[in-house]
Amino acid sequence: MKYLFLNHKMNITVTELQEYKENLKNVNWKNLEVCIFPSFINISYLIKEKYKVGAQNVSSFESGSFTGEVSAKQLKSLKVSYCLVGHSERRYKFCEQETDIKEKIKELEKQNIIPVLCVGELQQEEKEEILKKQLSVIDQNPKELIIAYEPVYSIGTGVVLENEKIEETIDFIKEYVSKRYQKNFPVLYGGSVDENNIKQLKRIKNADGFLIGKASLTVEKIIKIVEEIR
Ligand code: PGA
């Protein structure tokens, strides 16, 4: 099963979504597990349109006086299937820590929403050490989980490593997780995936799919990507 996860980040208004949705009708998703991660404001519309939808964030708290937060229970009530956690933009722009991420995963698991744990190193960081630290948030007895490997310097920059380097890291993640937790989880690749480099990136042998940001905002680009990986 190939996963194709589309992360809109803080883009697309309610009005713009109408046209986006109309254009999406031209995509043939056959054989792919597709999930759109829109802004919170666009979640219910896409769910009504029968898309599988994920959230970009969730509160680490269960409920109560947390102005501006959205709980896992609330996401469940919208029928959200997946939720990103630990995205590098949350880690570095909103100072999210491993302790927060751990709590978020717990909240999601209680509601049977599958967490998509994003991990990845900064260019100057010791890769294996940082990945181990980021993967340590996984529960000792994990339920379902998806991991997205996104080198931080590849996100939104157009910088993409050679396939062999990405394969090496995905192997490391898979081996580490399976040894530590006795379970295997899908690992996606993300970071500047677009309609031009997908021909190369689809050859990454051990990636179970892609997490796509910028290119997911343009349906023509999605169509080209889907045609390559389907
Ligand atoms: P990008 O974003 O495709 O724009 O690099 C990927 C992501 O942040 O998940």
Question: What pLDDT is recorded for position 1?
Answer: 65
Total-model pTM: 0.97
Task: Locate the ligand 1 atom nearest the alpha carbon of residue 215 and give its number.
Answer: 3
Sheet of strand 54-55: strand arrangement = 32-37, 2-7, 209-212, 187-190, 146-149, 114-119, 82-85, 54-55
Q: Is 214 in the pocket of ligand 1 (CB under 6 A)?
A: yes
Question: What pLDDT is recorded for position 197?
Answer: 97
Q: What percent of the chain has pLDDT over 90?
A: 97
Phi, psi dihedrals of residue 219, rounded to the nearest 5°:
-65, -35
Residues known to be catalytic? 87, 150
Beta bridge partners of 148: 118, 188
Distance 196 CA to ligand 1 centre (A): 15
More confident residue, 177 or 125: 177
Question: What pLDDT is recorded for position 124?
Answer: 87
Residue nearest to atom 7 of ligand 1 (CA): 213
Task: Locate the ligand 1 atom nearest the alpha carbon of residue 155 and give its number.
Answer: 5
User: pLDDT tens-digit profile of 47-81?
Assistant: 999 999 999 999 999 999 999 999 999 999 999 99
Question: Tokens for 221?
Answer: 């680009």
Q: Closest by alpha carbon to 206, among 190, 194, 192, 188?
A: 188
Q: Is 213 in the pocket of ligand 1 (CB under 6 A)?
A: yes
Residue 15 CA to residue 13 CA, distance in Å, equals: 5
Residue 73 CA to residue 75 CA, distance in Å, equals: 5
Residue 187 CA to residue 134 CA, distance in Å, equals: 14
User: pLDDT tens-digit profile of 160-173?
Assistant: 999 999 999 999 99
Q: Is 216 in the pocket of ligand 1 (CB under 6 A)?
A: no
User: pLDDT tens-digit profile of 103-158?
Assistant: 999 999 999 999 999 999 999 889 999 999 999 999 888 999 999 999 999 999 99
Look at the alpha carbons of 134, 185, 32, 35 in this order and tell me if their dihedral is positive or negative.
negative
